[in-house]
Chain A
Amino acid sequence: MAAGALARRDQRFGLLLTAPGLAALLLVVLFPLGFAVFTSLFDYTLVHPNHDTFVGFDKYVEAWNADYLPDALWTTVKFVVASVVIEFVIGFSVALALNRVTRFKNVYYIILLAPLLMNPVVVAQLWRMILHSELGIMNYVLGMIGIGKINFLGDPVAAFWTVVLVDIWHQVSFMAILLLAGLAALPREPYEAARMDGASAVQTFVHITLPLMRPVIAVALLLRLIFAIKTFDIVFIMTKGGPGTATDLISYFIYRSAFFGLDVGRASAMSVALLLIVLALTIYLYRYMKSLA
Chain B
Amino acid sequence: MGGAVRWRGLLAHGVAALFCAAILLPLLWLVRVALTDKLTAYKLPPEWVTPRLHNFVEIFTDYPFLTYFINSVVVAAGSTAVALPLAAMMAYAFARYDTGGLPLRLFVLSSQMLPPVILVLPLFALFLWAQLLNTWFALIIAHLTISLPFLSWLLVAFFQGDVRLLEQAARIDGATRFQAFLKVTLPVTAPGLLSAGLLAFILSWNEFLFVLILSGPQTNTLPVGLSAFQTQRGVELALLSAATLVAIAPVFVLLPFMRRYLIKGLSLGALK
A103 / chain B contacts, CB cutoff of 8 Å: 13
Q: A21 near B86 (CB under 8 angstroms)?
A: yes
Which of A178, A251, A254 meets B267, CB within 8 Å? A178
Complex alpha-carbon distance, A49 and B142, angstroms: 20
Would A282 and B20 count as touching, CB distance under 8 A?
A: no
Number of interface residues of B (CB under 8 A): 104
Is A203 at the interface (CB under 8 A from chain B)?
Answer: no
**A119 in complex: contacting residue of B12, B122, B247, CB < 8 Å:** B247
0/1 string, A16-30, CB within 8 A of B gives 1? 011011101100111
- Whether the Cβ atoms of B16 and A108 lie closer than 8 Å is yes
- How many A residues touch B, CB cutoff 8 Å? 100
In chain B, positions 1-53 with a C-beta closer than 8 Å to chain A are: 8-9, 11-17, 19-20, 22-24, 26-27, 29-30, 33, 42, 44-46
**Cross-chain contact B268 with A223 (CB below 8 angstroms):** yes
Stretch at the interface among B56-64, B162-170, B189-197, B219-227: B219-227
Interface check B96, CB cutoff 8 A: yes
Beta-carbon contact of A113 and B145 below 8 Å = no
A230 touches B205 (CB 8 A): no
User: What secondary structure prevails in chain A residues at the interface with B?
Assistant: helix
Kindly identify, within residues 162 to 211 of chain B, every residue whose CB is under 8 Å from any CB belonging to chain A.
177-178, 181, 202, 205-206, 208-209
Kindly list the 3 A-B residue pairs having the minimum CB-CB distance in the complex, ordered from nearest.
A14-B97, A14-B99, A21-B90
Which B residues lie at the A interface, using CB under 8 A? 8-9, 11-17, 19-20, 22-24, 26-27, 29-30, 33, 42, 44-46, 82, 86-87, 89-90, 92-94, 96-100, 104-111, 113-126, 128-129, 141-142, 144-145, 148-149, 152, 177-178, 181, 202, 205-206, 208-209, 212-213, 222-224, 226-227, 229-230, 235, 237, 240-241, 244, 247-248, 251-252, 255, 259, 262-263, 266-272
- A residues sitting closer than 8 Å to B (CB atoms) are 9-11, 13-15, 17-18, 20-22, 24-25, 28-30, 32-33, 35-36, 39, 44, 49, 90, 93-94, 96-98, 100-101, 103-104, 107-108, 110-122, 125-127, 129-130, 135, 137, 140, 169, 173-174, 176-178, 181-182, 185, 201, 216, 219-220, 223, 226, 229-230, 232-233, 236-237, 251, 254-255, 258-259, 264, 267-268, 271-272, 274-275, 278-279, 281-283, 285-286, 288-289, 292-293
